[in-house]
C-alpha cells in the first residue's frame, strides 16, 4: 500500500513537472511571438551586447534610445493609413459646416468617394486633409474627438477596433527593450496629437515620447480659461528627412536602435546607423498575405523600395513577417 501511494505521488509530481516546465519556459521567453530566426537572434544579441557591463559594445542606460515608426511598424497600415481613414470620416462629418468642400479638392473626392481622384492628390492632398480635420479646436477637444472615433470605428477587413490592429511581436519587443533599460519613442509621419491619444494605453509609450507631424498652434485665453488652439497649417512634416530633424530637436540624443517599414523611415535608420558604437536598424517587411498583407515596392501606402535595397546592402535586419512571426495581432490564436 505504501509503495502504491509513493508511486501515485511520484506520478502526480511528474505530471506537475511536465505541465509547469513548458509554462515556465514560455514565461521566461521575452519574445514568444517571434519564431527562432535571424531577426530574433539579431535583436537578442544586440540587447545582450549593449547591456553587458564591461563589454566592448556596452551602452550606458541614458544612451539606450530606441525609435519606432508607427504606421506599418507597430500597427497595420492597409488598406490605407488609419489616420487617413479618421480624416476621411471627419470630412464627411464636418461637410455640412463647409459647403465649399463639395467643389474643392481633395475634399470633393472624399465626399464623392472617388478613390482615383483622391490618390491623385498625393501627399499634398493628404496633408491638406489632416490640416483641415485636425484643427479649429483645442488640443483637449481634438484628443476627445480622436478617442471617440477610435472607440467606435472598425477596420474594414477584420471588424476590429484599430487599436487592436497592433503587432503582437512588436509589443513584446517594446516591453523587452524597456525591461533592459531602453527608452522607447514613436517617431512617425502621423500627426502627434492623434497618436498621443492612444500611445500610452496601446504601446506603453507616454505622450512626451511620441514625435510626429505637427500643426501650428496658438495660446488663447478664452474667458479666463487658457487653451492651445490648433491651426490649419502644417508646422513640420515628420516623414523622411523630417524624422532625424525631429529626433535631434526633441530627444537630443542619437538613437542606438531604429525600426521602420518603409522608404519614409530611411533617413531615420541612416541617422541611427551613422553613430558610433553598437547600432541596430530594422525593417518590418510585410510578406504575409494570409494573416496580414504582402506589399513593398509598389504599394501606395508603406512603399518599401529604396530602404529595402539599402537594408540588404548594409546588412540591416529585415523582418520577414510570414516566416518570423508566430502571431501578427494580439487576438490571433496562439
User: ∠ at Cα 64 (306, 42), nearest 5°?
Assistant: 55
Q: Which of 146, 150, 239, 236 is nearest to 188 (CA)?
A: 239
Q: Is residue 137 part of a domain?
A: no
Q: Is residue 277 part of a domain?
A: yes
Q: Is residue 23 part of a domain?
A: no
Q: For position 30, what pLDDT does the model report? A: 97
% of residues, the chain, pLDDT over 70: 92
The better pLDDT of the pair 179, 24 is held by 179
Q: What is the per-residue pLDDT across 104-124, written as a single tens digit (0 to 9) for each?
A: 999 999 999 998 999 889 889
Q: Which of 294, 303, 241, 297 is nearest to 266 (CA)?
A: 241
Q: Is residue 43 part of a domain?
A: yes
pTM: 0.90
Number of C-beta neighbours around residue 56 at 10 A: 8
- Bridge-based pairing of strands 280-285 and 257-260 is parallel
Residue 144, classed as helix, strand or coil, is helix
Q: For position 123, what pLDDT does the model report? A: 84
d(CA 140, CA 124): 26
Number of domains in the chain: 1
Beta bridge partners of 217: 230
Q: For position 27, what pLDDT does the model report? A: 54
Q: What is the per-residue pLDDT across 221-261, written as a single tens digit (0 to 9) for each?
A: 988 899 999 999 999 999 999 999 999 999 999 999 999 99
| pLDDT over 90 (residue 48) | yes
Tell me the CATH number at 281. 3.40.50.1000
Q: Is residue 125 part of a domain?
A: no
Contacts of 79 (CB under 8 A, 6+ apart): 156, 157, 301
Q: Is residue 61 part of a domain?
A: yes
Q: For position 14, what pLDDT does the model report? A: 55
Q: For position 5, what pLDDT does the model report? A: 62
Q: What is the per-residue pLDDT across 153-198, written as a single tens digit (0 to 9) for each?
A: 999 999 999 999 999 999 999 999 999 999 999 999 999 999 999 9
Q: What is the per-residue pLDDT across 303-331, written as a single tens digit (0 to 9) for each?
A: 999 999 999 999 999 999 999 999 999 99
Contacts of 281 (CB under 8 A, 6+ apart): 257, 258, 259, 269, 272, 273, 311, 314, 316, 317
Q: Is residue 208 part of a domain?
A: yes
Q: Is residue 314 part of a domain?
A: yes
Domain that holds residue 56: 31-79+166-324
Amino acid at each position: 500500500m505504501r509503495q502504491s501511494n509513493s508511486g501515485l505521488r511520484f506520478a502526480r509530481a511528474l505530471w506537475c513537472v511536465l505541465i509547469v516546465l513548458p509554462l515556465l519556459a514560455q514565461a521566461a521567453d521575452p519574445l514568444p511571438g517571434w519564431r527562432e530566426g535571424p531577426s530574433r537572434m539579431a535583436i537578442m544579441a544586440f540587447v545582450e551586447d549593449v547591456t553587458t557591463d564591461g563589454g566592448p559594445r556596452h551602452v550606458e542606460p541614458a544612451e539606450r534610445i530606441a525609435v519606432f515608426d508607427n504606421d506599418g511598424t507597430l500597427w497595420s497600415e492597409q488598406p490605407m493609413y488609419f489616420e487617413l481613414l479618421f480624416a476621411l470620416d471627419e470630412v464627411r462629418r464636418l461637410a455640412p459646416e463647409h459647403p465649399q468642400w463639395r467643389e474643392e479638392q481633395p475634399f470633393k473626392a472624399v465626399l464623392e468617394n472617388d478613390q482615383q481622384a483622391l490618390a491623385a492628390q498625393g501627399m499634398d492632398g493628404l496633408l491638406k486633409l489632416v490640416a483641415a480635420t485636425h484643427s479649429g479646436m483645442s488640443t483637449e477637444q481634438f484628443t476627445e474627438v480622436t478617442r471617440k472615433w477610435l472607440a467606435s470605428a472598425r477596420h474594414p477587413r477584420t471588424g476590429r477596433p484599430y487599436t487592436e490592429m497592433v503587432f503582437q511581436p512588436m509589443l513584446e519587443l517594446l516591453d523587452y527593450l524597456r525591461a533592459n533599460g531602453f527608452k522607447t519613442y514613436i517617431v512617425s509621419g502621423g500627426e502627434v496629437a492623434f497618436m498621443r491619444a492612444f500611445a500610452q494605453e496601446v504601446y506603453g509609450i507616454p505622450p512626451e515620447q511620441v514625435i510626429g507631424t505637427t500643426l501650428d498652434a496658438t495660446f488663447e485665453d478664452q474667458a479666463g480659461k487658457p487653451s492651445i488652439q490648433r491651426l490649419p497649417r502644417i508646422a513640420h512634416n515628420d516623414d523622411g528627412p523630417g524624422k532625424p530633424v525631429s529626433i535631434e530637436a526633441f530627444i537630443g540624443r542619437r538613437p542606438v536602435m531604429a525600426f521602420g517599414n518603409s522608404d519614409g523611415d530611411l533617413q531615420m535608420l541612416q541617422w541611427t546607423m551613422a553613430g558610433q558604437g553598437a547600432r541596430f536598424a530594422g525593417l518590418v517587411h510585410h510578406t504575409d498575405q494570409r494573416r496580414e498583407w504582402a506589399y513593398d515596392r509598389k504599394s501606395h501606402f508603406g512603399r518599401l523600395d529604396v530602404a529595402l535595397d539599402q537594408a540588404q546592402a548594409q546588412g540591416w535586419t529585415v523582418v520577414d513577417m510570414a516566416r518570423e512571426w508566430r502571431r501578427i495581432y494580439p487576438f490571433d490564436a496562439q
